[in-house]
Amino acid sequence: MSETILVTGGAGFIGFHTSKKLLELGKNIIIIDNFNDYYNVKLKEDRIAQLPKKDLKVYNEDIADFKAISRIIKKNPITKICHLAAQAGVRYSLKNPFIYERSNVLGTLNLLEAAKQSEIKDFVLASSSSVYGNNKKIPFSEEDNVDNPISFYAATKKSAELIAHTYSHLYNINCTALRFFTVYGPWGRPDMSYYKFTQAITEGKKIPVYNYGKMKRDFTFIEDAVPAIITALERPFKYEIFNIGNSKPIELNYFIEVLENTLGKTAEKELMEDQQGDVKQTFADISKAKKMLNYKPKTSISEGLKEFVEWYKKYKVNSNKYK
Ligand SMILES: NC(=O)c1ccc[n+]([C@@H]2O[C@H](COP(=O)([O-])OP(=O)(O)OC[C@H]3O[C@@H](n4cnc5c(N)ncnc54)[C@H](O)[C@@H]3O)[C@@H](O)[C@H]2O)c1
């Protein structure tokens, strides 16, 4: 019998792509997602509708509810947990910190405790490049000090890493934390800049360009990130952290230029100061992931944006046909 993997946040952007790949690899997949309305719930439902039903069970539950998730975990023969559910987004964490504490800190603890009780030995969790805050040393390495987060979101991600470390140490649960650097692509997140900009430029609306377009982000195409998640699930480590980025930071102004070229339309820009909580740049040192996870990002920003824009246009026209 093929193995059963629990994917939390499977209706989310990264969770959907990961579940799709795992199903293609012949795994049985259990998804837990609470389909919250932080962004368009229909997009989450449409993602799930893309997945083959065979070998898939989807539970609409909150990972902050220990009883609910431990019931699911006890009922199914789960051998690995891929924990991708979280309240994401840096800016919203300044407005509503409590939901971040609930989903990202309590939610992670609940899953690890349920894993311990059900003797599940392998646990992969999503962390974030935001834990590096405004660190001056670049590129960011897993060995750098990350004691100075500048958003509450980052603080909850660092907390999740620490909780995972204690469960690995105390109960021998293999834990791998993946620090994702701005993952983007088809079926992506409408709250992220690349999605918002595409929408605004297409509709002829102004785009807010924070920090006068001077900030830099290391963009990671979803199809480059997923193989790293799969390898992390296949190759358990006692406790390891990996940067999953592209190691090619891109200035926001250049990013907008590429998007304009892809869309064939000029953006109306509103230049603004930087926002609280936003880091000035992200830049991943990916040598550890290359060596230990055989990680090989290969998609350039223009190739990745092209794929995103193609999906975006198609989804906009067809989304009323889904479900
Ligand atoms: N996309 C990125 O650029 C990026 C960067 C760094 C880290 N991450 C992390 O990667 C993971 C996946 O991110 P994503 O971009 O797919 O985000 P996403 O918001 O699309 O996916 C997260 C999913 O988790 C679900 N969820 C949230 N709180 C929940 C709860 N309490 N109980 C059950 N389900 C819950 C949401 O409904 C959503 O479907 C997250 O942990 C995120 O913090 C993402």
| Residue 168, domain CATH | 3.40.50.720
Report the pLDDT value the prediction gives residue 92, as an integer from 0 to 100: 95
Q: Which of 98, 128, 282 to mutate to test the pocket of ligand 1 (most atoms within 8 A of CB)?
A: 128
Residues with a known catalytic role:
153
Report the pLDDT value the prediction gives residue 130, as an integer from 0 to 100: 96
3-class secondary structure per residue, 206-224: EEEEHHHHCCEECCEEHHH
State pLDDT tens for residues 88-138: 999 999 999 999 999 999 999 999 999 999 999 999 999 999 999 999 999
State pLDDT tens for residues 129-183: 999 999 999 999 999 999 999 999 999 999 999 999 999 999 999 999 999 999 9
Residue 321: pLDDT band by 50, 70, 90 thresholds? Answer: low
Determine the Cα–Cα distance for residues 304 and 101; give it in Å rounded to an integer. Answer: 32
How far away, in angstroms, is 102 Cα from ligand 1 center? 13
Grouping H, G, I as helix, E, B as strand and the rest as coil, residue 290 is: helix
Number of domains in the chain: 1
Report the pLDDT value the prediction gives residue 98, as an integer from 0 to 100: 98
How far away, in angstroms, is 264 Cα from ligand 1 center? 31
CA 107 to ligand 1: nearest atom: 31
C-alpha dist (Å) from residue 195 to 200, 256, 259, 262:
9, 12, 10, 13
Nearest by Cα to 136 from 250, 279, 286, 288:
279
Question: Nearest residue CA, atom 10 of ligand 1?
Answer: 126
pTM of the model: 0.98
Domain, as residue range, for 213: 4-321
State pLDDT tens for residues 234-284: 999 999 999 999 999 999 999 999 999 999 999 999 999 988 888 899 999
pLDDT average, residue stretch 45-64? 98
